[in-house]
Chains A and B, each alone.
Chain A
């Protein structure tokens, strides 16, 4: 069964600190993995997209890693800011027809 699981479910950190969010998937055959940021009540916005051959991809203070062997990905946020408070959703797509599976997301709260 195609699944995407994210952890932790929620996280509270102090402004300026770093944090790492996890995503484990069983989607097959793997095509790509994306991380989205979703502010409350808004549509998700893409942060990174990685294919099978990519291990790391950065977008400013956001760095995503992918281990296709263990089917794990992480999103590392450096020097967090209050505006980073949002849900971060891991999305995995499979080849052979449209199969895109969403994780439930990690809710990040950055406090001053």
Chain B
């Protein structure tokens, strides 16, 4: 049973560029959440997708956008990258978004903005 998979694992971008990160949820899961984790900090909630719609959003600017596909996989897009966007981006999948189902995390995508 494949767990949550994320790609790419590492990437380097320069300020002003755009980046797309991808996530495939654990088999059977229908909800995908994205988190940003700066070094030494806990994960910060970006947004959550269920049934191809953004259901909840954290305190992140519109530069951060996402998408969920019919197969439940998801993408996180960040436009106009800033140095402060350098972080580990975690994807987590779960079942039944309303009841706060257990989160299963991928290994993350490490983004470095130069």
Task: List the B side residues contacting A102 at CB < 8 Å.
Answer: 35, 42-45
Task: List the B side residues contacting A45 at CB < 8 Å.
Answer: 105
Query: In the assembled complex, how far is the CB of residue B63 from the closest CB belonging to chain A, in whole angstroms?
Result: 22
Known: A43-B107, A46-B103. A98 touches B88 (CB 8 A): no
Is B43 a contact partner of A94 (Cβ separation < 8 A)?
no
Is A93 a contact partner of B106 (Cβ separation < 8 A)?
no
Which residues of chain A in 30-84 are interfacial with respect to chain B, using CB atoms and an 8 Å cutoff? 31-32, 34, 36, 41-46, 49
Task: List the A side residues contacting B44 at CB < 8 Å.
Answer: 102
| A111: interface (CB < 8 Å) | no
Is B42 a contact partner of A104 (Cβ separation < 8 A)?
yes
Q: How many residues of A contact B (CB 8 A)?
A: 26
Is A41 a contact partner of B110 (Cβ separation < 8 A)?
yes
Which residue of A43, A49, A99 contacts B90 across the interface (Cβ within 8 Å)? A43
Which residue of B100, B106, B110 contacts A95 across the interface (Cβ within 8 Å)? B100
Binding site for A on B (CB under 8 A): 4, 33, 35, 40-45, 48, 55-56, 88, 90, 92, 97-100, 102-108, 110
Binding site for B on A (CB under 8 A): 31-32, 34, 36, 41-46, 49, 89, 91, 93-100, 102-105, 107
